[in-house]
């Protein structure tokens, strides 16, 4: 697909394109954060004068969203938090209807969601993905500078599974996947960067699919206890190192570059916000994000405490 042939889609259209997953994806947390008032820097800020920051329903997204909030608060910006909303299909709808104004996104996954048929062929590097994303963003939204921090989807296995089936790459799964169970978030069933692309690009079809969570504790736990043999785990997840998971290589780049960047409603953006978040993105790397995410996932610290510590150790200009 040529770049000029890409169809722009509304955020609502992208959300409804996989609408069948909305209910299941939203079940990843308890209370609906969009239905309740959330904390703000002033305690009385309203949607009209505050930037409402959302996040997906996994720890890394909430942590980066909290970092955004604290960076903006330090610049005097009023902030409301509505974290742990759900999967992309849910929070894009929230951004579209104004329930939230800003959230951390992943350049490759967002591009794939907004372009009919997924990302254009040959687009995989961070720079390529970012440039194509600018052409696909719906009117009224914009992305700020992307960070070096990248968190890609992976298919991970236990060392014993790697040895038993002689696995090194996703390609190696093709002849044996029918005997294996894959665990991932419910939305993984319908995404191209999921079961659809695994079949189309690699010829991989799993015997069973278990809808668990998006790279979260359910998937990690099921992989560890053998309930599943392959898990969709994010590349910055501390469990990969602490539990000895083996990440299968992705030679055909099904999983695109996934650099973290702010996605914001243009009507809520201004130069103060742009400068603050661009400066933050400049200090966010895969290594320091992985280090501080472990404090949430392993040490069980809350995201606000970890974000404060991160910003103290990595000052934003």
The residue-averaged pLDDT of 152-164 equals 96
Write out pLDDT tens, residues 174-188. 999 999 999 999 989
29-33, 46-50, 202-206: which has the highest mean pLDDT? 202-206
Q: What is the pLDDT of residue 5?
A: 42
- Of 191 and 306, the one with more pLDDT: 306
Ordered structural domains, the chain, with CATH: 3-150+257-313 (3.40.190.10), 153-247 (3.40.190.120)
Model confidence at 41, pLDDT cuts 50, 70, 90, reads very low
Q: What is the pLDDT of residue 40?
A: 47
The residue-averaged pLDDT of 11-19 equals 54
Q: What is the pLDDT of residue 37?
A: 46
Instruction: Write down the mean pLDDT value for the chain.
Output: 87
The residue-averaged pLDDT of 129-143 equals 95
What percent of the chain clears pLDDT 70, i.e. is strictly above it?
86
The residue-averaged pLDDT of 239-258 equals 91
- Residue by residue, what is the 3-state secondary structure of the chain? CCHHHCCCCCHHHHHHHCHHHHHHHHCCCCCCHHHCCCCECCCCCCCCCCEEEECCCCHHHHHHHHHHHHHHHHCCCCEEEECCCCCHHHHHHHHHCCCCCEEEEEHHHHHHHHCCCCCCCCCCCHHHHHHHHHHHCCCCEEECCCCCCECCEEEEECHHHHHHHCCCEHHHHCCCHHHCEEEECHHHHCCHHHHHHHHHHHCCCCCEEEECCCCCHHHHHHHHHCCCCEEEEECCCCHHHHCCCEECECCCCCCCCCEEEEEEEHHHCCHHHHHHHHHHHHHCCHHHHHHHHHHHHCCCCCHHHHHHHHHHHCCCC
Q: What is the pLDDT of residue 52?
A: 98
pTM of the entire structure?
Answer: 0.74
Write out pLDDT tens, residues 186-236. 989 988 889 999 999 999 999 999 999 988 899 999 999 999 999 999 988
Q: What is the pLDDT of residue 172?
A: 98
Residue 95 has pLDDT above 80, yes or no: yes
């Amino acid at each position: 697909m040529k770049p000029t042939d890409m169809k722009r889609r509304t955020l609502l259209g992208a959300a409804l394109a996989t609408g069948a997953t909305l209910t299941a994806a939203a079940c990843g947390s308890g209370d609906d954060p969009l239905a309740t008032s959330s904390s703000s820097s002033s305690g009385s800020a309203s949607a009209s004068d505050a930037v409402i920051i959302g996040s997906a329903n996994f720890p890394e997204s909430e942590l980066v969203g909290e970092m955004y909030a604290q960076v903006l608060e330090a610049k005097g910006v009023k902030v409301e938090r509505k974290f742990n909303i759900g999967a992309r299909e849910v929070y894009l709808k929230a951004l579209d209807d104004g329930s939230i104004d800003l959230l951390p996104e992943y350049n490759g996954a967002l591009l794939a969601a907004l372009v009919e048929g997924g990302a254009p062929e040959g687009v995989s590097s961070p720079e390529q993905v970012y440039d194509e994303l600018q052409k696909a963003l719906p009117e009224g939204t914009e992305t700020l500078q992307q960070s070096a921090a990248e968190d890609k989807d992976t298919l991970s296995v236990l060392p014993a599974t790697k040895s038993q089936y002689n696995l090194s790459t996703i390609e190696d799964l093709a002849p044996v996947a029918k005997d294996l169970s894959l665990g991932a978030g419910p939305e993984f069933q319908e995404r191209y960067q999921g079961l659809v692309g695994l079949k189309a690009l690699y010829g991989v079809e799993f015997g069973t699919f278990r809808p668990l969570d998006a790279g979260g504790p359910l998937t990690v736990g099921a992989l560890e206890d053998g309930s599943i043999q392959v898990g969709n785990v994010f590349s910055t997840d501390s469990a990969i190192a602490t539990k000895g998971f083996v990440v299968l290589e992705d030679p055909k780049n099904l999983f695109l570059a996934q650099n973290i960047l702010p996605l914001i409603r243009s009507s809520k953006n201004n130069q103060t916000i742009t400068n603050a978040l661009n400066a933050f993105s400049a200090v966010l790397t895969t290594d320091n994000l992985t280090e501080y995410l472990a404090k949430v996932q392993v040490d069980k610290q809350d995201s606000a405490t970890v974000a404060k510590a991160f910003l103290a150790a990595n000052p934003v200009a």
